[in-house]
Amino acid sequence: MDKIIMKTPLVEMDGDEMTRIIWKMIKDILLLPYIDLKTEYYDLGLEYRNETNDQVTIDSAEATKKYGVAVKCATITPNAARMTEYNLKEMWKSPNGTIRALLDGTVFRSPILVKGITPYIPTWTKPICIARHAYGDVYKNTEMIVEKGCKAELCVTNADGTETRDIIFDFKNSDGIIQGMHNLDSSISSFARACFNYALDQKLDLWFATKDTISKKYDHTFKDIFAEIFENEYKEKFDAAGIEYFYTLIDDAVARVIRSNGGYIWACKNYDGDVMSDMIATAFGSLAMMTSVLVSPEGIYEYEAAHGTVQRHYYKHLKGEETSTNSVATLFAWTGALRKRGELDETPELCAFADKLEKATIDTIESGIMTGDLYLLSTLENKTKVNTEDFLKAVNERLKELL
Ligand code: NAP
Ligand code: MG
């Protein structure tokens, strides 16, 4: 069989530890034999980030803006322990944070469902995709401890120097606490557009929820910006695609999510998204089966796995011990990116290959061949635990039958 031709390169962002090992295995076993793989390679492994003073991260984000589609391996976010382990010049920032800021992007996380791994909510038969607004609110707040006898006010210094004030609370009878936070109309608008675009891309309904009945200015602004952008820019496109934008109160949304069958995108404010994405990931069964895609308001896509570098497995691997690390989310990052590249370049062979590789992966697990993490969860009767590499080889056997 001839190798599938790619017209435009993918931006390839390599990473760290066990996921770096998996990255190479996926390419060698499942991609290079079938695709004339064109990538523009950026090494985001911590050593090279340190060597380039993190310039490589910025360059990779700029390349993503240029080409439109990237695939990223998990990377280490340095902490004190990593400073010594890698002899770092500085505690470099999270590459994901840097890339997200440069692309002004929103992260969408979706679980991959397979037979044998039942969500804790068994009626969730379709994925629930969470979109988290990753700017502002309590994550960029200012807090103070206030002593009894003090009065706290909100004060805005206007452009002409005058002040607008409002009382927060008069702490006459007790010590207490206050908190100030903000968001930006521009950031909320980018978030809204990223969500509407991704809903159209995935042909999924979009849900959004805030506490606008209590927070009549702050949360209500989120509701209003979403409503206005939807009416002016997306309503007709949603009608044509047969999908819906649905707004409700956050507590009503939580109740509906639990009663639902899944199959929609749930857009969340920053804190709601932080909390709910962990709940959804856990309820669907495994972090190793969670994919993640960063989407910019202009429609630039960066695909990755939601999990980290699986450090414990890496140290076993370094000692020469066998590992059974789940490569599915990283593999789906590649298929997501290849399919998107195929759509943009109008190379349907590439999209078809991505579909078949995903099917081969799911079929392999549903036939009972799986890595250790899934082996512990699966209710299949005949199941076999395989090592990291043998799982990918088993996927390849299935893939050959489908091609
Ligand atoms: P992690 O790498 O996601 O791993 C946490 C634990 O979850 C693992 O020890 C493993 O459990 C299990 N696990 C996660 N992915 C798995 C997989 N593919 N197959 C099998 N088991 C899997 O998170 P972490 O240990 O907190 O972080 C490690 C490094 O990753 C850190 O340096 C962090 O900065 C980085 N990180 C990067 C990203 C990113 O690039 N997007 C995201 C999160 C964390 P067992 O050990 O019990 O088998
Ligand atoms: Mg969280």
Ligand nearest to the CA of 272: 2
Using a 6 Å CB cutoff, which residues line ligand 1? 74-77, 96, 287-288, 304, 307-312, 325-326, 373
| Nearest residue (CA) to ligand 1, atom 16 | 288
* Nearest C-alpha neighbor of 266 from the set 197, 208, 203: 208
- Among 307, 312, 365, 389, residue to substitute to test ligand 1 (most atoms within 8 Å of Cβ): 307
Number of Cα atoms under 13 Å in the Cβ half of residue 284: 28
* pLDDT beyond 80 at 1: no
| Nearest residue (CA) to ligand 1, atom 37 | 308
Expressed in angstroms and rounded, the spacing between residue 275 Cα and the centre of ligand 2 is 5
Q: What one-character-per-residue DSSP string does 72-92 give?
A: E-------HHHHHHTT-SS-P
User: Helix, strand or coil for residue 398?
Assistant: helix
Question: What is the arithmetic mean of pLDDT over 235-253?
Answer: 97
The Cα 52–Cα 38 span in angstroms is 24
* pLDDT beyond 90 at 394: yes
Measured from the Cα of 327, ligand 1's closest atom is 18
Question: What is the arithmetic mean of pLDDT over 275-302?
Answer: 90
Taking only the tens place, the pLDDT of each residue in 72-131 is: 999 999 999 999 999 999 999 999 989 988 998 899 999 999 999 999 999 999 999 999
Q: What one-character-per-residue DSSP string does 358-390 give?
A: HHHHHHHHHTTEE-HHHHHH---SS-EE--HHH
Expressed in angstroms and rounded, the spacing between residue 288 Cα and the centre of ligand 1 is 8
Expressed in angstroms and rounded, the spacing between residue 20 Cα and the centre of ligand 1 is 12
- Among 92, 310, 316, residue to substitute to test ligand 1 (most atoms within 8 Å of Cβ): 310
| Nearest residue (CA) to ligand 1, atom 22 | 288
pTM exceeds cut of 0.85: yes
* pLDDT beyond 80 at 221: yes
**pLDDT for the residue numbered 328:** 97
Expressed in angstroms and rounded, the spacing between residue 73 Cα and the centre of ligand 2 is 20
Taking only the tens place, the pLDDT of each residue in 307-316 is: 999 999 999 9
Expressed in angstroms and rounded, the spacing between residue 196 Cα and the centre of ligand 1 is 30
| Nearest residue (CA) to ligand 1, atom 5 | 310
Q: How confident is the model at residue 277 (pLDDT cuts 50, 70, 90)?
A: confident
Taking only the tens place, the pLDDT of each residue in 169-205 is: 999 999 999 999 999 999 999 999 999 999 999 999 9
**pLDDT for the residue numbered 105:** 86
Expressed in angstroms and rounded, the spacing between residue 116 Cα and the centre of ligand 2 is 26
Q: How confident is the model at residue 135 (pLDDT cuts 50, 70, 90)?
A: confident
| Nearest residue (CA) to ligand 1, atom 43 | 308
Q: How confident is the model at residue 250 (pLDDT cuts 50, 70, 90)?
A: very high
Cβ 351 vs Cβ 343: under 8 Å: yes
| Nearest residue (CA) to ligand 1, atom 6 | 310
Amino acid identity of 379? T
**pLDDT for the residue numbered 101:** 87
Average pLDDT, rounded, for the chain: 96
Expressed in angstroms and rounded, the spacing between residue 46 Cα and the centre of ligand 1 is 16
Pull the structure tokens for residue 208.
Answer: 């959004």
* pLDDT beyond 90 at 227: yes
* pLDDT beyond 90 at 390: yes
**pLDDT for the residue numbered 134:** 83
Expressed in angstroms and rounded, the spacing between residue 327 Cα and the centre of ligand 1 is 12
Taking only the tens place, the pLDDT of each residue in 265-275 is: 999 999 999 88
Q: What one-character-per-residue DSSP string does 125-177 give?
A: -S-EEEEE--SSGGGG-EEEEE-TT-EEEEEEE-TTS-EEEEEEEE-SSS-EE
Q: Enumerate the β-bridge partners of residue 312.
A: none
| Nearest residue (CA) to ligand 1, atom 36 | 308
The Cα 337–Cα 154 span in angstroms is 46
Pull the structure tokens for residue 17.
Answer: 């530890």
**pLDDT for the residue numbered 139:** 85
Expressed in angstroms and rounded, the spacing between residue 308 Cα and the centre of ligand 2 is 13
**pLDDT for the residue numbered 23:** 98
Ligand nearest to the CA of 109: 1
**pLDDT for the residue numbered 375:** 96
- Residues of the chain above pLDDT 90, percent: 92
| Nearest residue (CA) to ligand 1, atom 24 | 308
**pLDDT for the residue numbered 370:** 97
Question: What residue ranges define each of the domains in the chain, with the CATH number in brackets?
Answer: 1-105+296-403 (3.40.718.10), 119-141+181-284 (3.40.718.10), 142-180 (no CATH)
Q: How confident is the model at residue 286 (pLDDT cuts 50, 70, 90)?
A: confident
Rg value, the chain, Cα:
23
**pLDDT for the residue numbered 282:** 86
* Nearest C-alpha neighbor of 48 from the set 9, 10, 95: 95
